[in-house]
Chains A and B, each alone.
Chain A
């Protein structure tokens, strides 16, 4: 880059330079400073889907969202967990700051009702965060869910054990167990390029 150009760019704050835009705080704070720093809008995007990919559960995937969920219930917003793989254990939820009366657990007996249930709940403004373990999903369904999240303004989290191809979800995270906590790799996110990995310490 020419020196004159560099000088111009450095001196003129009005020129927008894609990569170094200051993060605007619009998102839902994740509660993990390292993650907030690399996510656009400094938190979970509101009105969008997050696809969480992890080959196994029990590595801290809930704890990743726990601070945001606790903040939402304290703001009198609702949470919904749809078809969780295990029993959400109330003693841990309560000590995590979640008010149980704001947590709805849906256990659809039929697997094909999960997307419908998630869409219904996501459309509600009252609901801040919906976590779902849908199993198999076709990409058209993910698109519908993304639109429902946009309509309701909440955060939808899809926990999936594998990822193939592209997705309509606004954010895709890959979770891997780290030595002291959880490694979160951002596979895709609005307004960012390339993969970024951040380690989240969990005790």
Chain B
């Protein structure tokens, strides 16, 4: 029998050694590449950053029994291992401390890590105990796979997490390789078969029944699977299993849900002892602000609402709300505003801890910056001054005026928080006073010491919104020389003062 004839029956139609299709080409035409970050000790690290200080284990419940989910290095030296019953673990290591597994803490750690991973890829997906990053699109930016991996490793070294990294053309393969602790960087889908083939079958995420079945079939490694006929496998292990193998080998495209980090910033700072000193408190805040600014810079966001929460030793927490008129992510400006508010509002009690919270973010609009534009620079300064004024005087106190298209004098204007829409000046034919009284002042039915100096101007109408008016307006002078804007209300015959020609 020739060599090629011997190889032929082993060649499986479904798992050809040369993949006929390029794996899931993306919209840009390049094939995708996935990096998986697997955190083998996440359940421990989520509960205690200093994992190996003592023999301890995280306990999970399975089939109504307490079993060890993960154990620290000192505990493992005593023989405690994953999947062991708690009683057995105690027998091996009597001084073992245990903690219940905290899924939400793990998830929170993973979300934090995913937020951090957004800097390497716009497509980060959360997996059980792992993250998946689509890095095919990032390679060029970061200078190739080697450089990117080095950077990810370098950044993660500063975190208290142990991580296994693997790269593969399919998400499932990357996850599988990382879970096995194989530092594999596979970029070609053609190489997947050979690389994955070395793995023992026990690493596959299959049910116990399927695992025992695979054992009974005399299979040990994944490469044994490649050689089996597809129909037989479907019959024995089910379609889902074959589907998984297809996705593993990049024969079927797979979609992942991208992690969208909800922008929500919170950071806290605690003082060694409670303090009322504004300088110390400002120092604490200034330590947190760079984190906030960096948070916004990574996400291209800016804020206009910020909260500082003060925790007092034996009083309810107090808070300080800060608003800016324009979107802002300038550290010094925020610091100035907070200082202004702190100087103005006295703290209710000594502060032990403070927290910076921001949940309302908006996409930062960063315009092109002109080389020579002193006007724009002044405008930023002016906006910052407005923020300062608003911080000290309150939001109501800083306003602009707005002209409204309305014939009734008291509705022809409004205070607005900012000059958003400038109404065009409609041709005002009649003279209007520069000062308007907030309420027309009643003068009585006759005018004493007041001389009318103009013709009558009748203003009426407004039945449509319930504020119907019928007035005859005059300009006048009183005996003090004030120049008045009066009207005679034709509905009740009384005279009113509504404005002054200031």
Q: Is A88 an interface residue (CB 8 A)?
A: yes
Chain A count of residues within 8 A CB distance of the other chain:
48
Contact of B403 among A58, A60, A86, A100 (CB under 8 A): A100
Task: Return chain A residues, CB-CB under 8 Å to B481.
Answer: 56, 59, 176-178
Contact with B along A153-177 (1 / 0, CB 8 A): 0000000000000000000000011
Within 8 Å of chain B (Cβ to Cβ): is A108? yes
B435→A58 contact, CB < 8 A: yes
Bound state CA distance, A11 and B482, in angstroms?
50
A60 x B501 contact (CB < 8 A): yes
Q: Is A142 an interface residue (CB 8 A)?
A: no
Stretch at the interface among A16-24, A39-47, A114-122, A189-197: A114-122
Q: Which residues of chain B are near A105, meaning CB under 8 Å? A: 399-401, 415
Mark B412-446 against chain A: 1 for CB-CB distance below 8 A, else 0.
11010001001001001001111111100000000
The answer to whether residues A85 and B378 also contact, given A95-B428, A100-B419 and a CB cut-off of 8 A, is no
Interchain CA distance A200-B402 in the complex, whole Å: 29
- Asked if residues A100 and B402 are in contact (CB atoms below 8 Å), the reply is yes
Give the residues in chain A near B91, CB-CB below 8 Å.
none
B396:A90 contact, CB within 8 angstroms: no
Residue B466 at the chain A interface, CB threshold 8 Å: no
**Does A104 interact with chain B (Cβ within 8 Å)?**
yes
Contact between A60 and B483 (Cβ–Cβ < 8 Å)?
A: yes
> Is B342 located at the chain interface by the 8 A CB criterion?
no
Given A57-B502, A124-B385, do A90 and B413 touch, yes or no (CB 8 Å)?
yes
Q: Determine whether B397 belongs to the interface, using a CB cutoff of 8 Å to chain A.
A: yes
- Segment among B20-28, B82-90, B167-175, B387-395 that sits at the interface with chain A: B387-395
B502: A residues at CB distance < 8 A: 57-63, 86
- At the interface, yes or no: B500 with Cβ under 8 Å from chain A? yes
Give complex CA distance A78, B409 in Å: 26
Nearest residue in A to B422 (C-beta to C-beta)?
A: A101
Residue B143 CB within 8 A of the other chain = no
- Contacts between chains A and B (CB distance < 8 A), count: 146
Q: Considering the chains assembled together, what is the distance between the CA atoms of A97 and B378 in angstroms?
A: 23
The answer for the CA separation of A109 and B330 in the assembled complex, in Å, is 28
- Cα separation A108 to B484 with both chains bound (whole Å): 27
- A92 engages B433 (CB within 8 Å): yes
Contact B482 A177 (CB under 8 A): yes
Whether A126 contacts B392 by the Cβ 8 Å rule is no
Any B CB within 8 A of the CB of A135: no
Interface contact B482-A120, CB-CB below 8 Å: no
* Chain B residues within 8 Å of A104, by CB: 386, 398-400
How far apart are A157's CB and chain B's nearest CB, in angstroms? 13
Bound state CA distance, A61 and B500, in angstroms? Answer: 11
Asked, given contacts A57-B500, A59-B483, A78-B382, whether A92 binds B432 with beta carbons under 8 Å apart, the answer is: yes
The answer to whether B401 touches A86, judged by C-beta atoms less than 8 angstroms apart, is no
A101 & B419 in contact (Cβ 8 Å cutoff): yes
Interface of B is mostly: mixed
With A57-B435, A86-B436, A103-B400 in contact, is A126–B413 under 8 Å at CB? Answer: no
- Given that A90-B402, A91-B432, A126-B378 are contacting pairs, would A100 and B422 also be in contact in the complex, using a CB cutoff of 8 Å? yes
Contact partner of A113 among B393, B396, B501, CB < 8 A? B393
Q: Within the assembled complex, what's the spacing in Å between the Cα atoms of A193 and B432?
A: 38
Contact of A85 among B375, B401, B435 (CB under 8 A): B435
A144 close to B (CB within 8 Å): no
* A86-B378 in contact (CB<8A): no
Query: In the assembly, what is the distance between CA of A203 and CA of B430, in Å?
Result: 13
Is A93's beta carbon under 8 Å from chain B? Answer: yes
The docked-state distance in angstroms from the alpha carbon of A99 to that of B409 is 19
A94 within 8 A of B: yes
Question: Complex Cα distance A127/B379, Å?
Answer: 11
- A91 contact from B388, B413, B480, Cβ within 8 A: B413
Q: Does B155 contact A (CB under 8 A)?
A: no
- The contact of B392 among A57, A61, A66, A113, by CB within 8 Å, is A113
In the docked arrangement, what's the CA distance between A78 and B432, Å?
Answer: 23
* CA of A96 to CA of B433, assembled, Å: 10
* A121 x B393 contact (CB < 8 A): no
Q: Which of B379, B396, B413, B480 is close to A177, meaning CB atoms less than 8 Å apart?
A: B480
**A59, A90, A99, A100 — most chain B CB neighbours (10 Å):** A90
Q: Cβ of A87 < 8 Å from any Cβ of B?
A: yes
Known: A58-B500, A101-B422, A124-B381. A106 touches B434 (CB 8 A): no
The residues of A that contact B375 with a CB separation of less than 8 Å are 76
When C-beta atoms are compared, the residue in chain A nearest to B392 turns out to be: A113
Q: How far is the CB of B493 from chain A (nearest CB, A)?
A: 25
Q: Is the CB of B425 within 8 A of A109?
A: no
Instruction: List the B side residues contacting A78 at CB < 8 Å.
Output: 382
Question: Is B499 at the interface (CB under 8 A from chain A)?
Answer: yes
Contact partner of A109 (CB less than 8 A), chosen from B393, B428, B433, B501, is B393
Q: Please give the distance in Å from B277's CB to the nearest CB on chain A.
A: 23
Indicate if the CB atoms of B400 and A87 lie closer than 8 Å: no
Across-interface contacts of B388 in A (CB, < 8 A): 120
CA distance A93 to B436 in the complex (A): 11
Residue of A nearest to B413 (CB): A90
Residues in A neighbouring B413, C-beta threshold 8 A: 87, 89-91
- Does residue A125 face the partner (Cβ distance < 8 Å to B)? yes
Inter-chain contact B389/A94, CB cutoff 8 Å:
no
Q: Does A143 contact B (CB under 8 A)?
A: no
**Can you name 10 A-B residue pairings with CB atoms under 8 Å?**
A56-B480, A90-B413, A91-B413, A91-B428, A106-B399, A109-B396, A120-B389, A176-B481, A177-B482, A202-B483
Q: A87-B438, A88-B435, A108-B397 are in contact. List 13 more A-B contacts (CB 8 A).
A: A86-B438, A87-B413, A87-B437, A88-B401, A89-B432, A89-B436, A93-B434, A101-B419, A101-B422, A104-B400, A106-B397, A113-B392, A120-B385
